[in-house]
């Protein structure tokens, strides 16, 4: 899927990669049975870039509901918003990240929260 990313996905990834928003994101991250566009594991945040085919899709509603039950927050942005206002989209994502504490990954069995140090 990475080879067939849309222009909007490529543009958004250029703003999410390399911890530019203070946290790491993964792209095309599997959360079975789904694969999400972008995921911040530390804050259980999913970011989706949606084209017109996603307008009022019941399958997106079911998917988002499933992901929320797994402890994820889902943010969706229209491709046009990303293409023509990527700064605003990045700001909205950054605002959401700032509002939520860092959470340990369920797979890790623990981890540090925002502001904690690993001083043994």
How confident is the model over 12-52, as pLDDT tens digits? 999 999 999 999 999 999 999 999 999 999 999 999 998 86
Asked if the structure places residue 64 within a domain, the reply is yes
Asked if the structure places residue 13 within a domain, the reply is yes
User: pLDDT exceeding 70 applies to what percent of the chain?
Assistant: 75
Asked if the structure places residue 114 within a domain, the reply is no
Within 10 angstroms of residue 41's Cβ, the number of other Cβ atoms is: 20
Asked if the structure places residue 115 within a domain, the reply is no
95 or 4, greater pLDDT: 95
| Domain, as residue range, for 18 | 2-99
DSSP H helix total and E strand total for the chain: 4, 4
Asked if the structure places residue 73 within a domain, the reply is yes
Q: What is the mean pLDDT of residues 104-114?
A: 40
Q: Is the pLDDT of residue 108 over 60?
A: no
Q: What CATH number is attached to the domain comprising 18? A: 3.40.960.10
Q: What is the mean pLDDT of residues 88-104?
A: 85
Kindly state the DSSP code that residue 5 receives in the 8-state scheme: -
- Domain count along the chain: 1
Asked if the structure places residue 58 within a domain, the reply is yes
Asked if the structure places residue 107 within a domain, the reply is no
How confident is the model over 57-79, as pLDDT tens digits? 677 889 999 999 999 999 999 99
Asked if the structure places residue 109 within a domain, the reply is no
Torsions phi, psi for 39 (to 5 deg) = -140, 135
Q: What is the mean pLDDT of residues 88-100?
A: 94
């Amino acid at each position: 899927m990475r080879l067939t990313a849309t222009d909007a996905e490529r543009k958004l990834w250029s703003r999410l990669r390399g911890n530019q928003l203070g946290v790491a994101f993964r792209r095309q991250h599997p959360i079975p049975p789904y694969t999400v566009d972008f995921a911040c594991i530390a804050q259980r945040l999913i970011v989706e870039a949606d084209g017109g085919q996603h307008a009022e899709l019941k399958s997106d509603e079911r998917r988002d509901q499933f992901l929320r039950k797994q402890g994820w927050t889902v943010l969706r942005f229209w491709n046009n918003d990303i293409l023509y206002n990527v700064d605003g989209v990045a700001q909205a994502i950054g605002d959401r990240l700032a509002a939520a504490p860092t959470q340990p990954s369920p797979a890790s069995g623990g981890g540090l929260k925002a502001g904690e140090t690993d001083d043994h």
